[in-house]
Structure 1
Amino acid sequence: MADLFDSGPQNAASPTPTDTGHRPLADRLRPRSLAQVVGQTDVLGPDGPLGVMLASGALSSLVFWGPPGVGKTTIARLLAQETDLHFVQISAIFTGVPDLRKVFDAARHRRANGQGTLLFVDEIHRFNKAQQDGFLPHMEDGTILLVGATTENPSFELNAALLSRAQVLVLSRLDADDLGRLIDRAEDELGRTLPLTDAARASLVEMADGDGRAMLNLVEQVASWRVTDPLGPDALVTRLMRRAAQYDKSGDAHYNLISALHKSVRGSDPDAALYWLARMLEGGEDPRYLARRITRMAIEDIGLADPQAQRVCLDAWETFERLGSPEGELALAQSVIYLALAPKSNAGYVAYKASRKSARKTGSNPPPKHILNAPTSLMKDQGYGDGYAYDHDAEDGFSGQNYFPDGMARPEFYAPPERGFERDLKKRLDYFGRLRAKRSGD
């Protein structure tokens, strides 16, 4: 559980806690071995990457990627314990270049005396490129074994050079069973059960939202209450402020949730689409950003299968601008429902991309002369406009002439499916195809 039992930044091995003074429940329940860590079995199990490394005695530098409260700090501290390395913890938020030099000098001195150093860097993505590069020589010569922790996608936030020297391990948010085990441990430590009904206990787990540290903090609050009868969910919510959902409008969660919304619409699931829309709005996302992305979905995934879809999105966008929040957000929700249930087609999108690709390959070829205007006599002498067939004068209003550059094989970019309004467009396309073949054969 990253940061699950984090006692704060430190630049030396953790002191042994004493029993004097109040110790938070999360600190009292800090695991003393990796076997006591709740969750993360995919990483810590015998066949997991850390389990295999420890069994083989070959621990490499690591980057833990995961949300808050899932064990990043705790696991790093226990890895140092398991491998007899001196544990040093710093935070990229509070550490500058002079501090890093001191850390590296101390690690170099320890190494000369036969003691290795596991350097745990919390929020490692906060270091800039030059600071991240500063770790490389000390990782390569064995001065430190680096364990970084980040809540952001390492692919975007960390240097390629650093990532090439460290293995990225993904730590998952704790599930309901994991959080339930934490409650059980807390009750054993406290020597009493929480004054909650089973339904309220389940609500408490939901409030923690996958964060173990938040779970234990909530348990500590509930355990301090003096009540005669177990509390139900409503009484629990009244007494506790619901924890805000983890959401960073410029971070990884932002891109994950908009991807989930887009794919739910594409997958014709209005309920899932509404859920992800609500998640983003509850997290504080700008509704104007959502209006823009929803309109993009209409263009990219529905297109001409339902030409009305784009208009619905634009109207919802304008409605939000006129009504504001929260009433205007209902218009966005209704547009999402419409898109999810609309017929889907990316034929226009695919055709556009294919035409751009073709244009890049044949970008210097001029149009055929018969479709060029000839406003001057010189241009007429050059053959501009010769042989142009005026379609309105042709049989069926269709001449069937070639409009691509001379010598270019006729491509077929647009292939509408048999769905929605594009079913009619396909009939028209096939009709003109037959006429074109007839004209060319005449």
Structure 2
Amino acid sequence: MADLFAAFDPPAPAEVPTTGPLADRLRPRRLEEVVGQSHLTGPEGAIGRMVAAGKLSSMVLWGPPGTGKTTIARLLADAVGLRFASISAVFSGVADLKKVFAEARDHGRLGRRTLLFVDEIHRFNRAQQDGFLPYVEDGTVTLVGATTENPSFELNAALVSRAQVLILRRLDAEALETLLTRAEEAEGRPLPLDADARAALVASADGDGRFLLNQAETLFSIQLDAPLDPASLSALLQRRMAVYDKDREGHYNLISALHKSLRGSDPQAALYYLARMLTAGEEPLYVLRRITRFASEDIGLADPQALVQCLAAKDAYDFLGSPEGELAIVQACLYCATAPKSNAAYKAQKAAWRSAKETGSLMPPHNILNAPTKLMKEIGYGDGYAYDHDSDDGFSGANYWPEEFPPQHFYAPTERGFEKRLSERMAWWDARRHGRNPDAAS
């Protein structure tokens, strides 16, 4: 039990390590030193208010890699005097969880509560996540989970309901520049970069502070005769790959952004999101399938060529492959973005499908039924059918609706693009059906 009583001793002040990776040496020692997350750690932020009150609630820290989730969790424990325990969902199983909870309960009996930090918490399965609930509810642990994935999709609703979800932002240029300045102070010398290369280094990090400091550490380790320019920097260091998992939230966020940019007739933004997906390794035909769906859902008959362009792009991509065939996808994307928009066909489909389900198996009128047998002719199949081509203008005005179901108006074309012509045709036909002369002067 000696180790448990030792938990009552106040923690020794954290010392700045003089060895180890640069990112660890520059890890903040106080919440005020955390960069880029002042909306949470500042006096008016959720974390700032909890620390000021001296009481933490369980929380899930959701944000991109390298934004300070682990650091904040450690500093929170120090700030309110909680014992800090940490596990990773990548390397831990049920036995590890049981051990952590047992230790937390023992410390709790001695008056020392535990902050349990769970890295990559979304990697625990549903049953394992449920295992946290009783220990969170009875106060055995204050849970701080960290995840790069949307908690709405990856965490049990019961667990999310017992914790605040706090969103960490990707680090902006100002925050990343602060990290570089701290790195230079720690090393006692400036980075061997000219101004343009320094800006390029910050941009290459894509909001990931850890990645930036690792790149800076590499630069400090190299002996250079002169500062690097952007081209020399690019040749020396790799750019961070964009965060993008094809089965995760980033995938759905970008395809949503592409679809809405197309709908909003912004070809520049649509091309940007298309590029984001393809350069991150998305399957080109997946993107093209979504654009093809868009051609019917959001353009439809306002420009029937949109669908033709998409199908032609599919044939071109099948023929050429990547990267040459991707230009055909670009062409389809730009065509759809600049085409007149209409969701009239989409709305008509929904309405027609709904009516078909509601009306069941109503019989079409006898006049439009085929009568291949004598019996069918005798009972009126095909009786009175008006062959439209026999009319001077190719239109008979006959009724095609079941007797029990009056004519409906599912499709209402817009006044945009080709649908304007369709609207005029349909108005002409409707006038004829109702006995009016659509060609007469009004």
Which TM-score applies when normalising by structure 1? 0.91
CA offsets 1:325-377 (integer angstroms, 9 cap, x no match): 11111111122122111121111111111211222222243323333333344
Q: State the alpha-carbon separation in 2 of the partners of residues 363 and 128 from structure 1.
A: 44
Q: 2:275 is matched with which residue? A: 278
Runs of 4 or more, structure 1, over 4 Å off, are 13-21
Please name the residue that 2:41 is paired with.
44
Counterpart of 1:250 in structure 2 is 247
CA RMSD of aligned residues (A): 2.2
Number of residue-to-residue matches in the alignment:
428
Change in CA separation of 1:89 and 1:416 when aligned onto 2, cut-off 3 Å? same
Identify the range of structure 1 (159-168 vs 369-378) with the bigger mean alpha-carbon deviation: 369-378
Amino acid at match of 1:336: C
C-alpha spacing 1:399/1:53, structure 2 compared with 1 (3 Å): farther
Offset of 1:201 from its aligned partner? Answer: 0.9
Counting only pairs closer than 5 Å after superposition, residues 271-350 of structure 1 correspond to structure 2 as 271-350=268-347
Question: How far does residue 74 in structure 1 lie from its aligned partner after superposition?
Answer: 1.0
Alpha carbons 2:55, 2:80 under 8 Å: kept: no
Q: Confirm or deny that 1:29 pairs with 2:26.
A: yes
Any idea what SS the aligned residue of 2:381 has? coil
2:17/2:25 contact within 8 Å kept: no
Cα pair 2:316 2:328 within 8 Å, conserved: yes
Distance in structure 2 (CA, Å) of the matches to 1:384 and 1:46: 81
SS of equivalent to 2:199: helix
CA distance in 1, matches of 2:381, 2:81: 85
Q: C-alpha displacement at 1:205, in angstroms?
A: 0.5
Q: 1:293, 1:436 → 2: CA distance?
A: 39
Report whether the alignment pairs 1:264 with 2:261. yes
Q: 1 CA distance for matches of 2:369 and 2:331?
A: 47
Equivalent residue, structure 2, for 1:357:
354
1:92 aligns with one of 84, 89, 94: 89
Taking the TM superposition and a 5 Å limit, the aligned residue runs for 1:400-439 are 400-438=397-435
Q: Which amino acid aligns with 2:47?
A: L
Offset of residue 237 of structure 1: 1.0
Deviation at 1:121, TM superposition (A): 0.9
Show CA shifts across 1:15-72 (max 9, x none).
Answer: 9877777321111111111111101222223332223333344422111111101111
In structure 2, relative to structure 1, the CA distance for the partners of 1:398 and 1:145 (3 Å cut) is: same
**More divergent stretch after superposition (96-105 vs 395-404):** 395-404
Shift of the alpha carbon at 1:228?
3.6
SS of alignment partner, residue 327 of structure 1: coil
Q: Is the 8 A contact 1:63 1:166 kept in 2?
A: yes
Distance in 2 of aligned mates of 1:43 and 1:407:
63
Output aligned runs, 1:25-174, within 5 Å. 25-174=22-171
* 1:186 partnered with 2:173: no
| Residue of structure 2 equivalent to 1:5 | none
Deviation at 1:140, TM superposition (A): 0.9
CA distance in 2, matches of 1:172, 1:397: 64
Match of 1:175 among 169, 172, 175: 172
In 2, Cα distance between equivalents of 1:189 and 1:30: 12
Matched residue, 1:3: none
Output the amino acid matched with 2:157. Answer: A
Q: 1: CA distance between counterparts of 2:119 and 2:234?
A: 32
| 1:101 Cα offset (Å) | 0.6
| Matches of 2:276 and 2:303, distance apart in 1 | 27
Q: Partner amino acid for 1:258?
A: I
Does structure 2 conserve the Cα–Cα contact (< 8 Å) formed by 1:400 and 1:439? no
Aligned equivalents of 1:224, 1:14: Cα separation in 2: 34
2:49 and 2:409 map into 1 onto residues whose CA distance is 54
What's the TM-score, normalizing by structure 2?
0.91
Shift of 1:439: 6.8
Quick one: structure 1 residues 130 and 15, their matched pair in 2 at CA, closer, same or farther if it must change by over 3 Å? farther
List runs of 5+ in structure 2 lacking aligned partners.
1-9, 438-442
Cα distance, 1:186 vs structure 2: 1.5
Q: Distance in 1 between matches of 2:93 and 2:287?
A: 38
Please give the per-residue CA displacement for 1:141-177, whole angstroms capped at 9, x wherever unaligned.
Answer: 1111111111111111111111111121111111111
Instruction: Decide whether the 8 Å contact of 1:399 with 1:439 is kept in 2.
Output: no
The amino acid of 2:171's aligned partner reads L
Question: What is the letter of the counterpart of residue 416 of structure 2?
Answer: R
Quote the offset at 1:208 in angstroms.
0.6
